[in-house]
Amino acid sequence: MAIRNIRKEDDEILKKKSKEVEVIDDRVKELIKDMIETMHKFDGVGLAAVQVGILKRIVVIDLYDEKPILKLINPVIIKTKGKQEVEEGCLSFPNKYVKVIRPEEVTVEALDENGKKIKVTGTGLLAQAISHEVDHLNGIILTDVMIPRNYGSNRTRRQ
């Protein structure tokens, strides 16, 4: 296992769409282990392969609770429900936090590291993390989805 370099906000690779994983082999499994180690090293709750410079549709998520780490290969969000306004950070945007609107509940289909089809439904922080990481796989970064700073500021000022 190894700590990988995290690509930062000005890296053009972050704007590229990741490709589907065709074969889950030892290299993919090693990448997943490296991604988990890298995510933990930098105290993240999620990491997409593109963030370590690999254009593959792979995501890892760890909410640091009693549940196992999610390892999602070729994830596809199939259902969303509700909305939540949340503050969000990103390992590719160190020390930056912005407001975003994310679904309150998300259902995703993917393959696990053994190639088994899985379906995961998450609410709250898990829904937020899944949405954030799948955005990365589609070349969508934090600044693309943040609520503009002047959000709600078009109210009439009282004289």
Pick the CATH number of 12-145 from 1.10.3210.10, 3.40.1160.10, 3.90.45.10, 2.40.50.140: 3.90.45.10
**Residue 105 a catalytic site member:** no
What confidence tens digit (pLDDT) does each residue in 136-152 have?
999 999 999 999 854 44
Distance CA 131, CA 145 (A): 11
Q: How far is Cα of residue 106 from the mean position of the Cα atoms in its chain?
A: 13
Distance CA 79, CA 99 (A): 22
Supply the Cα-derived Rg of the chain in whole angstroms: 16
Residue-by-residue DSSP string for 97-110 = EEEEEE-SEEEEEE
Q: Return the pLDDT at 148.
A: 81
Instruction: Give domain limits for the chain.
Output: 12-145
Beta strand pairing status for 46-48 and 70-81? unpaired
What confidence tens digit (pLDDT) does each residue in 50-62 have?
999 999 999 999 9
Q: Which of 30, 85, 87, 133 is catalytic?
A: 133
Q: Calculate what percentage of the chain has a pLDDT beyond 90.
A: 91
Record the pTM. Answer: 0.91
